[in-house]
Structure 1
Amino acid sequence: MHLMRGFSGGTMPEGSDRKEGMPFYLGAFLAVALEWCAQARNAALQTQTLQALETRVAALEEERKILGRQNETYQTTLKQAQESKAEAEKQLAEAVELQADFYAREVALKVQVTSLQDIVEAYEEVQKDLKDRCCEQADEMERMEGEMATQAKAMGLLQVDYDKLQVEVCRIRVEKEALEKQVASGDATIEELEKDKKTLIQDMAGTFEEGFQEALAQAVCMNPGIDISNCDSTQHIVDGKVVPLELDD
């Protein structure tokens, strides 16, 4: 900024080109810096999205485990119901055999018909009760099988969602790694631009000093005997007087 003001305060050498506004290298540097800042923000957003998806995957995994434990409970209950049904069928078979024996004894012992009929009626009640219990067990088994089918369907849907989330997590991880590489490359580019900026400033300072010394040499050549011992590049003319530059301008 001081170097440009030094030029604006006096006459520029012939062949120089005055340009107003921001220098090109600063515009390019700002554009690159803004671009990489935007990519860094996008990388941070992608990281937050990845963390949310991983939390979601953990919750789904826990829910899948709970459904697995429920399924084991249903399997145990179903097994017990099947064992109860087998026991009831066994009892029913035994009751049928006992009924046949009763009928045989009725034929052989006509005198005991009344008592045998009472026994048969009582047994029929027991048989009816056993049949009712078998029907109830069958209905319970059917209901449990329906619940198991529903749970299996829900587990299938959860597995599909889990697989989709795993694919999404892998994709976001790949994108995150790519963005991290781009950010690292951008940091290296910014460092290179900083180095180029410092080099360019040093070159501009050297060029300004050379131009100033050349102007002094021309002034001495055109005006022999003139005293230029107090002239240097850190001064300029204000209101017809030579005054030092204000470095904090």
Structure 2
Amino acid sequence: MPFYLGAFLAVALEWRAQARNAALQTQTLQALETRVAALEEEKKILGCQNEAYETTLKQAQEAKKEAEKQLAEEVELQVDSYTRELTLQVQKVLKSRCSEQADRLERVEGEMATQAKAMGLLQANYDKLQVEVSRLRVEKEGLEKQVASGDAMIEELEKDKKTLVNDMAGTFEEGFKEALAQVVCENPGIDISTCDSTHHIVDGKVVPLEMDD
């Protein structure tokens, strides 16, 4: 084989190999470009999705804020309503208790007024009794003095009585002896030894006096 043919063949083979490599590179480049385009499309889609997600997230956040605001307002309204209701109930209970306390206080004041009136009456009665006791004490002292004076008068009267009785007894004894002397004078010899002031005559006989006579 001539030398130029060998060189031509070698060049042809080299060119062929380069052409094949260029085709492969072209195919690879096209595949890469297609992959890049697909990636760009995916990126664009992901960008749109991301924007949609961010929009949704923003709306969700705004909705959350609005819901939280509404919830806070509702809670505040409920708290206000509960507070008002609780306040009304507390006021009602306090009003009822105050009314009960007022009624109890009025009853207690009425009882105290009644007791004060009763105490006033008792004090007045006590004062009257004190006056009566003082008067009775004075009367008692007067009566004690009168009793003492009466006892002295009784003792004096007893003395006078004894003196009078003794005098009467002496007078009676003297009169009785005088009568016996007259009997002896008119009847000489009569026995009058059994006659004295303790005897008397019954049916013509001299008998002793009985205690009932």
- TM-score, normalised to structure 2's length? 0.51
CA distance in 2, matches of 1:198, 1:162: 56
Q: Match for residue 136 of structure 1?
A: 96
CA distance in 1, matches of 2:133, 2:191: 69
CA distance in 2, matches of 1:114, 1:244: 136
The correspondence for 1:245, drawn from 184, 187, 209, is 209
Q: Aligned pair in 2 of structure 1 residues 203, 118: CA closer, same or farther (>3 Å)?
A: same
Deviation larger for 237-246 or 181-190: 181-190
Question: Which structure has the larger Rg over C-alpha atoms?
Answer: 2
CA distance in 2, matches of 1:180, 1:228: 64
Compute the displacement of 1:217 (Å). 4.0
CA distance in 2, matches of 1:118, 1:137: 27
Compute the displacement of 1:135 (Å). 0.9
| Structure 2: unaligned runs, 5 residues or longer | 1-67
SS class of match (1:129): helix
Compute the displacement of 1:146 (Å). 0.6
**What letter matches 1:185 in structure 2?**
V
The correspondence for 1:113, drawn from 55, 73, 82, is 73
**What letter matches 2:99 in structure 1?**
D
**What letter matches 2:78 in structure 1?**
D
Q: Match for residue 100 of structure 1?
A: none
Compute the displacement of 1:150 (Å). 0.7
The reply to whether residue 178 of structure 1 matches residue 142 of structure 2 is no
RCO higher in structure (CA 8 A, sep ≥6)? 1
* Residues 140-199 of structure 1: per-residue CA shift (max 9 Å, x gap): 221122112211211112212311331343314642663575377177155555444444
* Residues 45-96 of structure 1: per-residue CA shift (max 9 Å, x gap): xxxxxxxxxxxxxxxxxxxxxxxxxxxxxxxxxxxxxxxxxxxxxxxxxxxx
Q: Match for residue 165 of structure 1?
A: 125
Q: Aligned pair in 2 of structure 1 residues 127, 141: CA closer, same or farther (>3 Å)?
A: same
CA distance in 2, matches of 1:145, 1:233: 94
Q: Aligned pair in 2 of structure 1 residues 160, 195: CA closer, same or farther (>3 Å)?
A: farther
Q: Match for residue 103 of structure 1?
A: none
CA distance in 1, matches of 2:189, 2:206: 16
SS class of match (1:116): helix
Q: Match for residue 174 of structure 2?
A: 210
CA distance in 2, matches of 1:246, 1:115: 128
SS class of match (2:196): coil
Task: Give the alignment's Cα RMSD to 1 decimal.
Answer: 3.4
In percent, how many aligned pairs have the same letter?
A: 34
Compute the displacement of 1:244 (Å). 2.9
CA distance in 1, matches of 2:210, 2:103: 93
**What letter matches 1:165 in structure 2?**
N
The reply to whether residue 153 of structure 1 matches residue 113 of structure 2 is yes
| Structure 1: unaligned runs, 5 residues or longer | 1-108
Q: Aligned pair in 2 of structure 1 residues 240, 139: CA closer, same or farther (>3 Å)?
A: same
**What letter matches 1:140 in structure 2?**
E
Q: Match for residue 122 of structure 1?
A: 82
CA distance in 2, matches of 1:235, 1:131: 114
The answer as to whether partners of 1:236 and 1:242 remain within 8 angstroms in 2 is yes
